[in-house]
A and B are shown apart, each in its own frame.
Chain A
Amino acid sequence: MELSRFGLKLFATDPAAMQAKNFVPIFHSWIQKQAVEKHQLIDVHDYSHIHHGPGILLVGHEGNFSTEMGEGLPGLVYFRKQPAGTFEETVRASVKAILQAATLIEAEPGLEGQIRLRRDEFLFISNDRLLAPNNAASFEAIRPTLGKVFGASASLTPVRIATRDRLTIRISGVAF
């Protein structure tokens, strides 16, 4: 499996604290500082007017960050667009990127520590319907790599298998 397009999501502990509009100036400041390692950050887009959309989007060359509000579970989402080596290396690079972004958000002075993002649970979203369509076979193909990256304590459960949505895997019990 040489998947390089996929997403990771971290959930906010307090959904009400994730106010989309707050992220417009924050993401702009990240571009000013090029704050995320190994990422060329490019632009910010406000999609907060769209239901179940990307919210506030920070566009990067390697991957995009956004404040997804979907399914009543707001959080921080990272979608990888460019490979960083093998699938495993790309997953590791993506985990590093979203964790760094989470730390930045939590330390953001303007938010006064109101936002906390859980590190013990991730969503993995395949974003390639050719290489990893939403079926059990794809889940089985992806599982070993995710197991390696997220560690033995992590439990992997597919959600929304065989729907038109993308293959989504809940990774719980993570202990980074």
Chain B
Amino acid sequence: MPTWEEKLADRLEPQLAAEIDKFETEITLRKQGKLDEKVFAETRLRRGCYGQRYDNGHRHDGIRTQELQYNSDLTKGPDTLWDAPGMQRIKIPFGGLNPDQMDVLADLAEEYADGVLHVTTRQDFQYHFVHIDDTPAIMRRLAAVGITTREACGNSIRNVTACPLAGVCNTETFDVIPYARATAKFMLGHPDAQGFGRKFKIAFSGCRQEACGLVNMHDMGAIAVTRVENGKVRRGFEVYVGGGLGAVPHNAKLFEEFLPEEELLPTTQAISRVFARLGEKKQRDRARIKFLIAKLGVEEFKKLVLEERQTLQADPRWTDYLEDAEQYAEKPLKPPTFLNGQKRPEGFDAWYATNVYRQKQAGYVVASITLPLGDLSSWQMRELSTLARRFSGDSVRTTVEQNMVLRWVSENDLPDLYRELTRIGLGAPGAGTIVDVTACPGTDTCKLGISSSRGLAGELRTRLAAKAYTLDEAVKNLRIKISGCFNSCGQHHIADLGFYGMSINVGNRKVPHFQVVLGGKWQDNAGAYGLPLVRVPSKRIPEVIDRVTNRYVGERTANESFQDFLKRVGKKDLRAMLEDLTRIPPYEVDPSFYSDWGDPREYTIGDMGVGECAGEVVSVSQFALAAADGLVFQAQLHLEAGDYASADQNAYKGMLQAALSLVRAQWPEAPDEADSTIHEFRQRFFETNIWGDRYAGNKFAQYLFIRHASPPANHSGDHAHRVVEEAQLFVDAVYRGHEILAERSAR
């Protein structure tokens, strides 16, 4: 039988071909039992091959947990069956694509996945339901058009992202693409980037004030700046380090105001070395570089990096690309034109208003293609590649808002382009508006998903699109971002209206919920993070949106931003406004609350029962947890008021109360005393692993232990913000802890 390896032999770069051959050998070795499952798991992750929900061979079908029957017991990692479908992530540096690559991406989705391409919040593509045996063929076919999946996952440097408008943006300092490309290429497989304890994400932005690069939420971010020296303009970067979302978001710290362009790659290399050497390795939840920088302080971290920089052996690749970088410019496919009054198709004006950006090069525009939930079919992708060849050439990009853009479209082509996009189902308006909801995969495919982020996103999109034309302008421009759990893949922290999934026990059933996170800032490179407000059942989130936005429209002062409005109204008032939405009708009255959006299965584990005794304990615990909730909410109010010491104290007390609620579930007379609570909690729940989340482990307990052991000497906004976030997550986790206790009791 012919193979892709033979067919593409002369089209693959030797190094890429050798890497894929090696991976295929590792697959064979694993099948023969000659490679440990943990080693293979990290190997495949570094090739972008992720696990997917239910790959442990179990799935609850709404009535019972089924054991999925595959042909073999072979595993591709701990508790991960070989034959179970997985996810393949594909790195697209700075989101840059050409039509040939688009065709191959379309073909592969059809042949090896489910015929759908999913754009991620970091400009990657993902395929779902892929068999691990097919991955070498996928990799070879991608490599033949210059795409790699290497280091798309695992503890490595992930896709290097950049503003999709780079090079055509009206406010950029200069085009960052040559630098993003050089960084991605230089650091791919670099020996100094192989020893990380966790992933490392890099982003580039052409200017400070826009959102596109989201520099502030990255492990390393670079904003283009220039400086005049000796009468000559020098290019460089304002570099930030230690940002990140995850469960607890960290603002990036300024590392260097002006890093000359020739220092970009060696400094990245030096940062990688320091991270690899000093970053946490054992405790995964403290292993991102943000924790190292928080521990060392950015000045000490910088000192170590600069010392490391001095030890590096000069590498010609550091500067080889710079001459071309200065000259780099994309060639438009067609001459510039302007809309000349020709008849516009129906719907064109609305689409033009939201989906077209006029480039700094007169006569050219960027056309955004709004992808619902970041998805497009193979057929659409192929049609889109045809349109790219006709209208824009090689200059296609994916975006962190899970859309795609065609750049360098000659403006007078827009009506034709719009007609064609409409024909293939990609002509929807609303790019970058409230309708354009971002969501991670959530419970659809992610192993960590708690609530259906895509289900909710789809529902909101449908509802908002139906009334898009009547929405107030101020509301239209808000952004909604949804994560299926606290891990922030949907970037809920930087949305005006953010949500992350959680579950709450009601009686002996579970109800999908979302934590409402308001006031994040998308602009200014993810300039501020929102804070949790209240947990609301999934089915009532649309009402949350309605109430918050209606109030904003009704009460905002002239030109008042959403963030300023929230500050003025205050969390207390906002929470009171939503309080009634937290109430859940009994199952017998309205069972719809007990299933998630787009999934008719009952969310609860139907065969679970709760004894009388456990029922009482849960009831007492809920009372104690309510007190913990109150303290954490008070902490948020103090934080909002700038009283960081009180914010810290309340957050800490909230964690203690939550921990005590669990302790009292086993020892109802336990004293309300900090050391005793910590001791009992540690002994009963932490050391026994009773409480540990299956995937997050005991990470949330560490928030309490660390805060208890090391109260802050000085109070800063940054620190208080972090402790408040941690307290919220801890309390959420204690809710899950009570569920575990209830389940154990039922058994």
Of A24, A81, A131, which is within 8 A of B600 by CB?
Answer: A24
- Whether A57 sits at the interface, judged by CB under 8 Å, is yes
Contact in complex: A51, B425 (CB < 8 Å): yes
Which B residues are CB-close (under 8 A) to A57?
Answer: 114
Decide: B114 and A25 in contact? CB cutoff 8 A.
no
Whether a CB of chain A sits under 8 angstroms from the CB of B357 is no
Q: In the complex where A24-B598, A46-B458 touch, is A52 in contact with B111 (Cβ < 8 A)?
A: no
Whether, in the assembled complex, A31 has its beta carbon less than 8 Å from a beta carbon of chain B, the answer is: yes
Q: In the complex, what distance in Å separates the CA atom of A2 from the CA atom of B377?
A: 27
Q: How far is the CA of A108 from the CA of B22 in the complex (A)?
A: 49
Cα-based distance from A45 to B598 in the complex (angstroms): 9
| Chain B interface residues toward A at CB < 8 A | 1-4, 7, 53-54, 59, 61-63, 66, 68-70, 83-85, 103, 107, 110-111, 114-116, 128-129, 131, 372-373, 375-377, 379-380, 382, 424-426, 444, 455, 458, 461, 598-601
Contact B68 A42 (CB under 8 A): yes
Asked whether, in the complex, the Cβ of B116 is within 8 Å of the Cβ of A164, the reply is no
A35 to chain B, nearest CB (A): 12
A61 to B455, CA, bound (A): 24
Residues of A contacting B426 in the complex (Cβ-Cβ under 8 angstroms) = 51
Q: Is the CB of A52 within 8 A of B3?
A: no
Kindly identify which residue among A28, A34, A46, A129 contacts B107, using a CB–CB cutoff of 8 Å. A129
The 6 closest A-B pairs by CB, nearest first: A51-B425, A53-B377, A52-B379, A49-B372, A25-B600, A32-B61
Contact B115 A54 (CB under 8 A): yes
Instruction: Say whether A70 contacts B458, CB under 8 Å.
Output: no
The residue from A28, A45, A81 contacting B62, defined by CB atoms under 8 A apart: A28
For residue A54, which residues in chain B have a CB less than 8 angstroms away from its CB?
114-116, 377
Bound complex: CA A121 to CA B684 (Å): 65
Cβ contact within 8 Å between B377 and A52: yes
User: Within 8 Å CB of A40, what residues of B?
Assistant: 68-70
Task: Evaluate contact between B59 and A81: CB separation under 8 angstroms.
Answer: no
Q: Say if the beta carbon of A90 comes within 8 Å of chain B.
A: no
How many residues does chain A have at the interface if contact means C-beta atoms less than 8 Å apart?
34
**Set of chain A residues within 8 Å of B461, measured between Cβ atoms:** 49
List chain A residues, Cβ under 8 A from B379.
Answer: 51-53, 70, 165
User: Provided the pairs A40-B68, A42-B68, A53-B115 are in contact, do residues A131 and B1 lie with their beta carbons within 8 angstroms?
Assistant: yes
B103 touches A64 (CB 8 A): no
Cβ-defined partner of B424 (8 Å) among A34, A46, A47, A51:
A51
**Contact status A64-B129, CB under 8 Å:** yes
Q: A116 within 8 Å of B by Cβ?
A: no
Seen from chain A, the residues whose Cβ lies within 8 Å of a Cβ on chain B are 2, 5, 24-25, 28, 31-32, 34, 40, 42-43, 45-47, 49-54, 57, 59, 61, 64, 70, 81, 127-131, 164-166
Q: Contacts A51-B426, A81-B131; is A130 near B3 (CB within 8 Å)?
A: yes
Cα-based distance from A166 to B444 in the complex (angstroms): 28
In the complex the two chains form, what is the Cα distance from A49 to B54 in whole Å?
24
Once the chains are docked, how many angstroms separate the CA of A59 from the CA of B115? 12
Complex Cα gap A37–B288 (Å): 47
Contacts of A45 in B (CB 8 A): 114, 128, 444
Give the distance to chain A from B26, nearest Cβ to Cβ, in Å. Answer: 22
Q: Chain A residues near B128: list those with CB within 8 A.
A: 45
Of all chain A residues, which has the CB nearest B83?
A61
Point out the residues of chain B lying under 8 angstroms from A49, CB to CB: 372-373, 375, 458, 461
Given contacts A2-B1, A42-B68, A81-B131, contact A31 B61 (CB under 8 A): yes
B458 and A52 form a contact (CB under 8 A):
no
Instruction: Give min CB distance, B594 to chain A, whole Å.
Output: 15
Using CB atoms, name the residue of chain B closest to A34.
Answer: B66
Taken together as a complex, chains A and B put the C-alpha atoms of A166 and B111 apart, in Å, by 10
Chain A residues, CB < 8 A from B600: 24-25, 28
Q: Is the CB of B85 within 8 A of A59?
A: yes
CA distance A129 to B4 in the complex (A): 10
Residues of A within 8 A of B66 (CB): 31, 34
Contact indicator A50/B377 (Cβ below 8 Å): yes
- Inter-chain contact B83/A43, CB cutoff 8 Å: no
Given contacts A50-B372, A52-B377, A128-B111, 9 further A-B contacts (CB under 8 A): A24-B599, A28-B599, A31-B66, A34-B66, A49-B461, A53-B116, A54-B115, A129-B107, A130-B3
Contact across chains for B116 and A28 when beta carbons are under 8 A apart: no
CA distance A40 to B85 in the complex (A): 12
Q: Given contacts A32-B63, A61-B83, are A50 and B380 in contact (CB under 8 A)?
A: yes
Interface centre among B59, B84, B115 (most CB of A within 10 A): B115
B430 CB, nearest partner CB in chain A, Å: 14
Q: Is the CB of A46 within 8 A of B114?
A: no
Could you list 25 examples of A-B contacts with CB < 8 Å?
A: A5-B111, A24-B600, A28-B62, A31-B66, A40-B68, A42-B54, A45-B444, A49-B372, A49-B373, A49-B375, A49-B461, A50-B372, A50-B425, A53-B377, A54-B115, A54-B116, A59-B85, A70-B379, A81-B131, A128-B111, A130-B4, A131-B2, A164-B103, A165-B379, A166-B110
The residues of A that contact B425 with a CB separation of less than 8 Å are: 50-52
In the complex, A128 Cα to B128 Cα: how many Å? 18
CA distance A59 to B130 in the complex (A): 11
Closest to B458 in A: A49
A127 to B114, CA, bound (A): 11
